[in-house]
Amino acid sequence: MATDVHGPLTSRSAIRVEGLTRSFDGRKVIDDLHLDVVPGEFVALLGRSGCGKSTLLRILAGLDRDIEGTVLVPRRKAVAFQSPRLMPWKKVWRNVLLGLPGKPERSVARQALEEVGLGHRSDAWPKTLSGGEAQRASLARALVREPDLLLLDEPFGALDALTRIKAQRLVGELWQRRGCAVLLVTHDVEEAVLLADRVLVMDDGVIAHEHRVDLDRPRDITDPRFAALRAALLERLGVDSARRSDLNQAPLF
């Protein structure tokens, strides 16, 4: 067993995974998986529920180490989950600083909150935040770590449609401004095409398909090329054409 979840990495890689296997009760959820992500690249990972997407992200985040294979990621990485996971007894700015080494100043949190448009809620209690605000606080907590790799596990899944669109736009802007690599796990094909440089499809514990998104930014969902790529990915995911017309813009799985 060769396992390394903290690098070192060459300047040409933000993620390098070789022969990764993860089993639960004898069943391989990830089976000899290989993955490379370059610095600054935005990669979206699609797949049906239970295919191993979130397990892979947890491994990359260093939260699951019971693996076989080699996993190399930057030391400076951060993760945001679908649930914001804010501590209700700490004000928003203190939540942003959770886990940082030393005694960071409040100004560090405020700067990150300003970047996600939440500076005015710095002194708020988490229970007073809307769903979108809580998710932005979670993003601020990730960004304050100055990550070279940002891992996003369905961060917009619990948001209403309008708030999700705003959150997607914010993440795209933050990625372009920060220049870090991003791996987004999502069920939403349209979201993947909207944000990513490259879309991967996971199936049977491996990366079964990948498609580069060669569309100009900002992307237009009414562009026929956007629709064609979305349709191709839906087909790859096993969604037939009759059902595609019913799905519209909703998340898939």
The CATH code of the domain that includes 177 is 3.40.50.300
CA distance 79 to 98: 13
Higher pLDDT, 19 or 1: 19
Which band of pLDDT confidence, cut at 50, 70 and 90, is reported for residue 9?
low
Over 80: is that where the pLDDT of 8 sits? no
- The answer, yes or no, to whether residue 103 has pLDDT greater than 80, is yes
- Any domain includes 20: no
In a domain, 165, yes or no: yes
Q: Strand 68-72: give its sheet, edge to edge.
A: 27-37, 15-24, 68-72
Residue 33 lies in a domain: no
Whole-angstrom CA distances from 184 to 4, 80, 99, 124 are 22, 10, 22, 28
**Least confident span in 112-116, 131-135, 176-180, 235-239:** 235-239
- Examine the pLDDT at 212 and tell me if it is beyond 60: yes
What domain range is 235 assigned to? 40-62+77-247
Please check the confidence at residue 249 and state whether its pLDDT lies above 80: no
**What are 116-132's pLDDT values in tens digits?**
999 999 999 999 999 99
Band (34; pLDDT cuts 50, 70, 90): very high
> Does pLDDT of 156 surpass 60?
yes
* pLDDT tens-digit readout, 72-81: 999 999 999 8
Q: Is residue 1's pLDDT more than 60?
A: no
DSSP per-residue codes, 44-96: EEE--TTSSHHHHHHHHTTS----EEEEE--SSEEEEESS----TTS-HHHHH
The owner of tokens 């736009």 is 169
Residue 184 lies in a domain: yes
Q: Is residue 215 in some structural domain? A: yes
Domain annotation covers residue 8? no
Helix, strand, coil % over all residues of the chain, rounded to 5: 35, 25, 40
Q: Average of pLDDT values for 219-229?
A: 94
Q: Please answer whether residues 18 and 70 qualify as being in contact, where contact means their C-beta atoms are separated by less than 8 angstroms.
A: yes
The confidence score (pLDDT) of residue 247 equals: 45
At 253, is the pLDDT very low, low, confident or very high (cuts 50, 70, 90)?
very low
Query: Per the structure, how many domains does the chain have?
Result: 1
Tell me whether residue 25 is in a domain.
Answer: no
> Which pLDDT value is given to residue 11?
60
- Ramachandran class of 143: left when φ > 0, alpha when ψ lies in -120 to 50, beta otherwise: alpha
- Averaged pLDDT of the chain: 88
User: Is residue 248 scored above 60 in pLDDT?
Assistant: no
Q: How far apart are CA 149 and CA 44, in angstroms?
A: 13
Q: Kindly state whether residue 168 falls inside one of the protein's structural domains.
A: yes
The mean pLDDT of 44-61, rounded to a whole number, is: 92
